[in-house]
Amino acid sequence: MQPTADRVLVVMPAFNEEASVSDVIAEVRAKAPSCDVLVIDDGSRDATTARAMGAGALVVTLPFNLGVGGAMRTGYRYAREHGYRAAIQVDSDGQHDPGSIPALLAELDDGADLVLGARFAGEGEYRVRGPRAWAMRVLAAILSRSARTRLTDTTSGFRAAGPRAIALFADHYPAEYLGDTIEALVIASRRKLVIRQVPVAMRPRAGGTPSHNFAKSALYLGRAGIALVFAYLRPRSAYEEATA
Amino acid sequence: MNLTSYIFGIVSAVLVLIVVVDLLRRKRLRERHAIWWLAAGTIALVLAVFPAVLDWFAGLLGITIPVNLIFFGSIAILFFVALQASSELTKLEDQTRTLAERIALLTLEVDRLTARDRRDPPDVDAA
C-alpha cells in the first residue's frame, strides 16, 4: 500500500442510498482503482452503511442527519487527519461519472486547489431549463468574478480538493442548505485558492427529477441569494484556520 | 388606581423576581440568560411601587399615554430574549454537529483498531 500522502480519497456523502451505493462504489473502484473510497452515511435509516461496507468502502456513520455540508466536512476532516493529497466528492446516487475523476485530478496536479466538475460545459446530456437555469446562470456570473475564473456550474457537487482546500474545508465547510456548494466557493475564493472547472458528463439522477416549477425555482434562487450575500458579509476572521 | 391594583402590581413583580432568583440559585438558569429577566423584574417592581416614575419617564420621552411605554419596554425585552435564545441555539447546533462528526470518525478508528487487534493480538507482556 502506498503512503497516504500520495493517495486520493473519494468522499461519498450518502443519505438513504442503499439502492445505489454499492454499484457506485464498485464503479469508482473500477474506474479509479488507486483511490480510497470513504462513504459518509449521513444518518440513513436504511442499510446504506452495511451495503457500503459490503462493497469494500471505508464507512463513517453519522449518528444523525447533518446534511451534505456536515457529511462533507467529516470527509475533509478524515482526509486532513490522514494526509491525503486530494479529496474528491462523488454523489452516491450515481449521478456523477467516476470516469471523470482522472480529469479532475489532472487539473489539481496542474496547480488548482479546487476543481469543479461542470455539468453544462459541453459533455453529456444533462440539461436544466427555465427559471432554475437562469438562477444558476446568475450565480455562475457572480461566483466567476470572485473566483477570478469562468465558472458555468457552481452548484455541481462533483468536485476535487487539493491539500489547501482540504485544510480549509475541514474547519469551514458550511452546513446550511446550498452552503455546501455556493458558500464553499465563496470561502475558497476569499482565501485566494485557485479554482478551476473541467467539463464532465453527467447522468440523469437515478430517482427523482430536478424541478422546473416556477415557485420552487424562485425559492431556490432566494435561498441561494441569501447564502451568497451572507457568505460575502462574513468577517474574514470567520474563515481563518483554527488554532486548535 | 386603587389599593388592590397597586398591591397586585407589586406582588406580580416580586413573583417574577422570586422565580428567576430561585432558578439561578438552583443552577437551572445561567447568569447570562438571566440578565434580561432580572432587569424586567426589577423594572416592573420599581414601577409597581412608584407608578409616578412611569408617568415622569413617559413624559420625558414625549409619550402621551404612559402605558404604551410599558408595552414598548415589554416587547423590547421579549425580543432580545428571543434573539439571544436563537443565537445560543445556533451555537449549540454547531457544537452538536462538530461532536457528531468527531464521534463518527472516532468510531471508524476504533473499529479499525479493534479489527487489527483481533487479527494480530498486541503483546500484552511487553507493556
* pLDDT tens by residue, B11-27: 999 999 999 999 999 98
The whole-model pTM stands at 0.82
Beta-bridge mates of residue A191: none
Q: Note the ipTM here.
A: 0.79
CB contact under 8 A, B104 and A60: yes
Q: Is B113 on the interface with A (CB under 8 A)?
A: no
Mean pLDDT of A25-38: 93
In this predicted structure, which of A8-12, A70-74, A154-158, B59-63 has the lowest mean pLDDT? A154-158
A1 pLDDT tier (thresholds 50, 70, 90): very low
Q: Residue A123 in contact with residue A104, Cβ under 8 Å?
A: no
Closest CA to A164 of A215, A108, A203: A108
Q: For position A244, what pLDDT does the model report?
A: 40
Q: For position A14, what pLDDT does the model report?
A: 94
What length does chain A have?
244
Is the pLDDT at A211 greater than 60? The verdict is no
Residues in contact with A228: Cβ distance below 8 Å, sequence separation at least 6, in sequence order: A139, A142, A143, A182, A183, A186
Say how far apart CA A73 and CA A69 lie, in whole Å.
6
Buried b (16+ CB within 10 A) or exposed e, B113-126: eeeeeeeeeeeeee
Q: For position A243, what pLDDT does the model report?
A: 45
**pLDDT tens digits for B78-123?**
999 999 999 999 999 999 999 999 999 999 999 999 999 898 887 7
Q: For position A121, what pLDDT does the model report?
A: 57
How high does pLDDT run on average in chain B? Answer: 90
Q: For position A127, what pLDDT does the model report?
A: 60
Say how far apart CA A23 and CA A55 lie, in whole Å.
8
Residues in contact with A235: Cβ distance below 8 Å, sequence separation at least 6, in sequence order: none
Say how far apart CA B11 and CA A234 lie, in whole Å.
47
Q: Residue A73: list chain B partners with CB under 8 A.
A: 101
CB contact under 8 A, B100 and A63: yes
- Number of A/B CB contacts below 8 angstroms equals 33
B47 pLDDT tier (thresholds 50, 70, 90): very high
Q: Is A133 on the interface with B (CB under 8 A)?
A: no
Mean pLDDT of B64-76: 93
Say how far apart CA A73 and CA A71 lie, in whole Å.
6
Q: What is the number of other CB atoms lying within 10 angstroms of the CB of residue B35?
A: 14
Is the pLDDT at A134 greater than 90? The verdict is no
Q: Are strands A159-161 and A114-118 parallel, antiparallel or unpaired?
A: antiparallel
**pLDDT tens digits for A159-208?**
999 999 999 999 989 887 777 788 899 999 999 999 999 988 777 655 44
Give the H or E element holding residue A205.
none
